[in-house]
Amino acid sequence: MNYKIALVPGDGIGPEVIEETVKVMNKIGEKYGHGFQFTAVLAGGAAIDAVGNCLPQSTIDVCKTSDAVLLGAVGGWKWDTLPGDQRPERAILGLRKQLGLFANLRPALLFEELAEACPLKPEIIEGGLDIVVVRELTGGIYFGEKGYKDTELGRTAYDVEQYAEEEVRRIAMVAFDMAMKRNKKLASVDKANVLESSRLWRSVVTEVAKDYSDVELSHMYIDNAAMQMVRNPKQFDVIVTSNIFGDILSDEASMITGSIGMLPSASLAKGNFGLYEPIHGSAPDIAGQNKANPMATILSAAMMLRYTFGLSEEANEVEKAVKSILSQGYRTADIMSPGYELIGTKETGDRIVKAIGE
């Protein structure tokens, strides 16, 4: 089969990690007889510098006519002083909205080989951690009405948290489907003790649960969930939550695995289309130095193979290759500890390609 993939290298370490991922995809294509056709497009700071707009229409058009999108990272110090509506991060939000990417899957997996990097006590994570945060991505406070007004207290800014039942229902269904493929346990996280939008969220999730009687559903308030995540993370399997809570909780979940440089993500639309990107950012401090860890992007490509192209054998092969170089003792700087061999971005890509060949 042939697949069209839009590449958004973006800023900072984005182009470097994308380059290694393309090598890995090409190797998979060669081994399994698939053709991956890549088209690189501009977004973020790179697009601001080149064409004065963080998300050119041509980028959106190429993404829409592709089967999937692979994104590196956007943003950096250089553009930090721009007004909110012109910042590189707007490109991400624009892509999510324009491409209808309402479901964000963020797995937080503790790699056995990297267990030492986990900041929690060994007894808390004994037996490993494997959580998926399913975050609603095109609604809520990120996209609600926002603005400024004058009040008696001076300039006042507001951002509205708002959810329609259809938005809650479709993300809940993604989460229940995910739970069915895993351990049939779903925690829905909200703030229903205070927020009206959360009360609606909770009632819609409860309704959807009727179609998934095999799944054990629990509801948890966001403050409690944030606490439980470090107290006893093993109680979680699949978590479903709103855009803003998911933003925060997925960073927390990734940190407790100790390897933010390792974690991929998928943002899915209705159907099979998806945008895949590492969880980490553009890391401008190490950009262009062959230091970045490309594994999160490579694992994002594995998610693309699995979710958009339905190629689970190929996806497993990529994941296996990543694990194999870890167990051979190779480490990039972000996951380095004494006794291991430090390697750069390019060598990591090359070694993963080699592991796939074996």
Please give the helix or strand (H or E) that residue 5 lies within, else none: strand 2-10
To ligand IPM, the closest distance from the beta carbon of 220 in angstroms equals 20
* Cβ atoms 356, 29 nearer than 8 A: no
Catalytic residue among 3, 142, 163, 330: 142
Helices (H) and strands (E) in the chain, counts: 12, 14
Both tokens assigned to 338: 């004494």
The separation between CA 241 and the C-alpha centre of its own chain, rounded to angstroms, equals 14
Distances (CA, A) of 293 to 14, 76, 89, 116, 219: 10, 18, 21, 18, 36
Q: Please, what is the minimum distance in Å from the beta carbon of residue 150 to Mg ion?
A: 31
Please identify, using beta-carbon distances, which residue of 104 and 345 lies nearer to Mg ion: 104
314 interacts with, out of Mg ion, ligand IPM, none, CB within 5 to 8 A per kind: none
Which of Mg ion, ligand IPM, none does residue 92 bind (CB under 5 to 8 Å by kind)?
Answer: ligand IPM
Residue 146 annotated to the active site: no
Nearer to ligand IPM, 91 or 215 (CB): 91
Rg (CA), the chain: 20
Which entry of ligand IPM, Mg ion, none binds 19, CB below 5 to 8 A by partner kind? none
Return the DSSP state at 206: H
Residue 138 is given by DSSP the state S
Cα separation, 246 vs 157, in Å, equals: 23
Chain residue whose CB lies nearest Mg ion: 247
SS3 track for 326-357: HHCCEECHHHCCCCCEECCHHHHHHHHHHHHH
From the list 247, 317, 319, 334, which residue makes contact with ligand IPM (rule: CB under 6 A)? Answer: 247
Q: How far is the CB of 54 from ligand IPM (least distance, A)?
A: 11
Q: Which residues pair with 9 in a beta bridge?
A: none
Q: Among 75, 76, 93, 90, which Cα is nearest to 243's?
A: 93
Per-residue contact flags (x/-) with ligand IPM for residues 84 to 123, judged by CB under 6 A: -----x--xx------------------------------
Counting residues that bind ligand IPM (by CB under 6 A) gives 4
Q: Shortest approach of ligand IPM to residue 221 CB, angstroms?
A: 21
State which residue, 167 or 247, has the beta carbon closest to Mg ion: 247
Residue 7 or 43 having the CB closest to ligand IPM: 43
- 350 touches ligand IPM by CB under 6 A: no
- 340 carries an active-site annotation: no
Residue with tokens 């230091």: 291
Of residues 35, 54, 25, 62, the one with CA closest to residue 297: 25
- Closer by beta carbon to ligand IPM, 89 or else 347: 89
Q: Active site residue: 67, 190, 237, 247, which one?
A: 247
Task: Indicate if 354 belongs to the active site.
Answer: no
89 binds, among Mg ion, ligand IPM, none (CB under 5 to 8 A by kind): ligand IPM
Q: Which residues of 170-189 are buried (b: 16+ CB within 10 A; e: fewer)?
A: bbbbbbbebbeeeeeebbbb
* Catalytic annotation present for 251: yes
Catalytic-role residue among 49, 159, 251, 350: 251
CB of 208 to Mg ion, least distance (A): 25
Instruction: Give the nearer residue to ligand IPM in terms of CB position, either 22 or 133.
Output: 133
Query: Which DSSP state fits 204?
Result: H
Smallest separation, CB 279 to Mg ion (Å): 8
CB 281 within 8 A of CB 12: yes
307 part of the active site: no
For residue 158, give the 3-state DSSP assignment. strand
CB atoms within 10 A of CB 115: 16
Q: In angstroms, give the least distance from the CB of 246 to Mg ion.
A: 9
Which residue numbers are catalytic? 142, 191, 223, 247, 251
